[in-house]
C-alpha cells in the first residue's frame, strides 16, 4: 500500500512518531495560485507556461473548467507543468457546462469568466459545493449586466450565466467569502466598462485578494484598490509557489513532535497569507527561522495557548486547533464565523471531533476554544473536508490510537499528504 490518496483504505491508522521529526520538504503547488494562474492564462490570448502546478481535485476541476471555456491545455503532470493557449472569451460561441466538483475557487472564479461569453454557461458542483453560499456573486453579476438563471435554490449552485457582462460599479458583501471579489476582479479587465467594487461589509481572507492582484499583475493587468480598468491579459511564464495551507500541517508537526521541519519554496516572499501560520507557532513557543523562500519551525518542548483572530488565514484554524491540544493553556480562535460555510461547518466539526477524543473544546459564534488534554484513541469523522483529515491526523503523531475515516478526502488539495506525513516519521 502506498499512502497516496488514490490508494488509501477506508480508515487510516496514524503511526505515532518514534523520534522527533527532522525533515525538509517542498509542499505541493498552491491551490489558490494554480487556480488564479489558470484563469489569467486562459483569458490571455496566446501561449502561457505554468510551472509548479498543483495536481489535485480542485485544480483538475479548474483545468476542465478553462478547457470548457475554450482554452487549449498541454498537461505534463510529472513535470508539474501546464501550457495554456488562452482565448478571448468575448468572441466565443456555443453553450458550455462546468462541473466545479468540490472547489469553491473554481466555481467562484469561473462564473464571472463565463459571464464574459455571449453564450450560456452552466456552473454546477457536488452536493457539498451546492450547499455553499453563492448568492452575492450571482447578485453582483446581475448588477453588472449579465443574465443569471437560478437552476436550483436561489443563491446556490447550479446557475446558468449568459453574457456579455458590461461591468461598471457593483456593491458586494465581504464577510462571507473573498472568492466572489477575486473572481470578479479577474474577469474585470475584459468587462466593457471595467470594474469598480464597493464592499458593503468587512472583507474576510484579505491576503487572498492581494494574491489575486499579484497574479493578475504577472499577466499584465494592474488592479488599483478595488478598481480594474478595461484592458487585456498578456500571456507569460509563471512559476507557482508551494501551498502555504498545506505547509501548515508540516510545520505544526514540528511543534507537536518537538522536532524540526523546513518547508522549501515558501518564505517572506510568499503571496499567501497562510505563511503567517508560522507566526502563531512562534507565539505559542516554537522557534521559527525565515528566509525569502524557506521556513523552519523547531519545537522547543514548550507550547502555550494563544488568543488569535484568524479571519485572514482561516484555512489554518483547524491546524491550530490540533496544536492547541498539546499546549499548557487554552487557545481561543476568533473572527472565523464564515468558515461554517466551507466544505463543512468547520467550527462545529472541529469542536465535535476534539470532544469525541475527550478534549474539552467549546464553540462560539465566531470561533472556538481548545482546552489542552490527552486525546483518547479515536476514529475521527472527516466530513468530506480535507482539512479535517489533515489536522486531526496531527493528533496521531503524539497520541496512540488515532484513526482517520475517509482519508481519501485529502485529494481535494494534497493527494500526497499522508506520504509526506510518513516522511516526518521516517526522518
Ligand atoms: O481565494 C482563494 O484561493 C481562497 C480563499 C479562501 O476562501 P474564502 O475567501 O471563502 O474565505 C480560502 O478559504 C480558500 O481555501 C481559498
Ligand atoms: C475552503 C477551501 O477551499 P475552496 O473554498 O476553494 O473550496 C479550502 O481549501 O480549505
pLDDT (tens digit, 0 to 9) for every residue of the chain, 427 residues total?
689 999 999 999 999 999 999 999 999 999 999 999 999 999 999 999 999 999 999 999 999 999 999 999 999 999 999 999 999 999 998 999 999 999 999 999 999 999 999 999 999 999 999 999 999 999 999 999 999 999 999 999 999 999 999 999 999 999 999 999 999 999 999 999 999 999 999 999 999 999 999 999 999 999 999 999 999 999 999 999 999 999 999 999 999 999 999 999 999 999 999 999 999 999 999 999 999 999 999 999 999 999 999 999 999 999 999 999 999 999 999 999 999 999 999 999 999 999 999 999 999 999 999 999 999 999 999 999 999 999 999 999 999 999 999 999 999 999 999 999 999 987 5
Q: What is the CATH number of the domain that holds 105?
A: 3.65.10.10
Rounded Cα distance between 75 and 240, Å, is: 15
Q: Which of 196, 226, 256 is the last residue of a domain?
A: 226
Same domain, 36 and 24: no
User: Alpha helix (H) ranges present in 144-189?
Assistant: 179-187
Record the cell numbers describing residue 327, joined without a space: 499546549
Same domain, 197 and 269: no
Q: Is residue 297 within 8 Å of 286, Cβ to Cβ?
A: yes
Same domain, 38 and 19: no
Q: Which of 195, 226, 257 is the last residue of a domain?
A: 226
Q: What is the pLDDT of residue 1?
A: 60
Look at residue 235 and tell me if it is in a domain. Answer: no
315 is catalytic: yes
Residue to mutate, 105, 319, 383, ligand 2, most ligand atoms under 8 Å from C-beta: 105
Q: What is the pLDDT of residue 2?
A: 84
Q: What is the pLDDT of residue 427?
A: 54
Look at residue 62 and tell me if it is in a domain. Answer: yes
Look at residue 232 and tell me if it is in a domain. Answer: no
Tell me what ipTM this predicted complex has. 0.99
Atom of ligand 2 nearest to the CA of 104: 7
Q: Which residues contact 110 (CB under 8 A, 6 or more apart)?
A: 39, 62, 65, 66, 69, 98, 100, 123, 183
Exposed, middle or buried, 18 (CB in 10 Å: 0-12/13-18/19+)? exposed
Same domain, 210 and 280: no
Residue 238: closest CA among 257, 261, 215: 215
Look at residue 234 and tell me if it is in a domain. Answer: no
Look at residue 291 and tell me if it is in a domain. Answer: yes
Look at residue 236 and tell me if it is in a domain. Answer: no
What is the span of the domain harbouring residue 323? 5-28+242-426
Most distant CA atoms of the chain, gap in Å: 62
CB of residue 204 inside a 6 A radius of ligand 1:
yes
Same domain, 351 and 212: no
Same domain, 196 and 307: no
Same domain, 270 and 323: yes
Strands 402-405 and 378-380: parallel
Q: What is the pLDDT of residue 230?
A: 98
Rounded Cα distance between 18 and 417, Å, is: 19
Q: What is the DSSP letter of 375?
A: P
Same domain, 136 and 200: yes
Rounded Cα distance between 298 and 256, Å, is: 10
Considering every ligand atom shown, identify the ligand nearest to the alpha carbon of residue 102 and give its number. Answer: 2
Same domain, 173 and 252: no
Same domain, 62 and 146: yes
Same domain, 49 and 188: yes
Q: Which of 199, 226, 253 is the last residue of a domain?
A: 226
CB of residue 177 inside a 6 A radius of ligand 1:
yes
Do you know the residue count of the chain?
427
Look at residue 92 and tell me if it is in a domain. Answer: yes
Considering every ligand atom shown, identify the ligand nearest to the alpha carbon of residue 412 and give its number. Answer: 2
Strands 360-364 and 227-228: unpaired
Strands 294-298 and 287-291: antiparallel
Record the cell numbers describing residue 330, joined without a space: 487554552
End-to-end CA distance of the chain: 20
Q: Is residue 382 within 8 Å of 391, Cβ to Cβ?
A: no
Q: What is the DSSP letter of 179?
A: H
Gap from CA of 177 to ligand 2 centroid (Å) = 10
Record the cell numbers describing residue 234, joined without a space: 498578456
Gap from CA of 226 to ligand 2 centroid (Å) = 23
Atom of ligand 2 nearest to the CA of 339: 1
Task: Single out the catalytic residue among 124, 243, 274, 315.
Answer: 315
Same domain, 279 and 401: yes
Look at residue 162 and tell me if it is in a domain. Answer: yes
Task: Give how many domains the chain has, as a whole number.
Answer: 2
Which phi-psi region, left, alpha or beta, contains residue 216 (left: φ > 0; alpha: ψ -120 to 50)?
alpha
Model pTM score: 0.98
Record the cell numbers describing residue 104, joined without a space: 469553491
Amino acid at each position: 500500500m502506498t499512502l497516496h490518496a488514490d490508494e488509501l483504505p477506508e480508515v487510516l491508522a496514524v503511526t505515532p512518531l518514534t523520534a522527533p521529526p527532522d525533515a525538509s520538504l517542498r509542499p505541493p503547488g498552491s491551490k489558490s495560485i494554480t487556480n488564479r494562474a489558470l484563469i489569467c492564462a486562459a483569458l490571455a490570448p496566446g501561449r502561457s507556461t505554468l510551472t509548479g502546478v498543483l495536481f489535485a481535485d480542485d485544480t483538475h476541476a479548474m483545468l476542465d473548467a478553462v478547457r470548457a471555456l475554450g482554452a487549449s491545455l498541454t498537461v505534463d503532470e510529472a513535470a508539474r507543468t501546464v501550457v495554456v493557449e488562452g482565448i478571448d472569451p468575448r468572441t466565443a460561441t456555443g453553450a458550455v457546462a462546468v462541473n466545479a466538483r468540490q472547489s469553491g475557487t473554481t466555481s467562484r472564479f469561473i462564473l464571472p469568466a463565463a459571464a464574459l461569453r455571449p453564450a450560456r454557461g452552466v456552473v454546477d458542483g457536488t452536493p457539498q459545493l451546492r450547499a455553499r453560499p453563492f448568492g452575492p456573486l450571482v447578485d453582483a453579476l446581475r448588477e453588472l449586466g449579465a443574465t443569471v438563471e437560478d437552476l436550483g435554490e436561489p443563491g446556490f449552485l447550479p446557475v446558468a450565466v449568459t453574457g456579455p457582462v458590461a461591468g461598471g460599479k457593483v456593491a458586494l458583501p465581504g464577510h462571507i467569502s473573498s472568492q466572489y471579489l477575486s473572481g470578479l476582479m479577474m474577469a474585470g479587465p475584459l468587462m466593457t466598462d471595467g470594474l469598480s467594487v464597493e464592499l458593503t461589509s468587512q472583507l474576510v481572507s484579505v491576503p487572498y485578494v492581494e494574491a489575486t492582484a499579484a497574479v493578475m499583475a504577472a499577466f499584465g493587468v494592474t488592479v488599483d484598490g478595488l478598481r480594474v480598468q478595461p484592458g487585456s491579459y498578456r500571456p507569460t511564464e509563471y512559476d507557482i509557489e508551494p501551498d502555504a495551507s498545506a505547509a501548515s500541517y508540516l510545520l505544526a508537526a514540528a511543534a507537536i513532535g518537538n522536532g524540526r521541519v523546513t518547508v522549501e519554496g515558501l518564505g517572506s516572499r510568499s503571496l499567501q497569507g497562510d505563511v503567517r501560520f508560522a507566526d502563531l507557532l512562534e507565539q505559542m513557543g516554537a522557534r521559527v527561522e525565515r528566509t525569502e523562500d524557506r521556513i523552519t519551525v523547531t519545537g522547543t518542548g514548550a507550547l502555550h495557548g494563544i488568543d488569535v483572530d484568524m479571519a485572514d488565514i482561516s484555512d489554518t484554524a483547524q491546524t491550530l486547533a490540533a496544536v492547541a491540544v498539546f499546549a499548557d493553556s487554552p487557545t481561543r480562535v476568533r473572527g472565523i464565523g464564515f468558515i461554517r460555510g466551507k466544505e463543512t461547518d468547520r467550527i462545529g466539526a472541529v469542536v465535535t471531533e476534539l470532544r469525541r477524543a475527550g478534549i474539552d473544546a467549546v464553540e462560539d459564534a465566531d470561533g472556538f476554544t481548545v482546552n489542552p488534554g490527552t486525546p483518547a484513541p479515536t476514529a475521527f469523522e472527516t466530513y468530506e473536508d480535507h482539512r479535517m483529515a489533515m489536522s486531526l491526523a496531527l493528533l496521531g503523531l503524539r497520541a496512540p490510537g488515532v484513526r482517520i475515516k475517509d482519508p481519501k478526502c485529502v485529494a481535494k488539495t494534497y493527494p500526497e499528504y499522508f506520504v509526506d506525513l510518513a516522511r516526518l516519521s521516517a526522518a
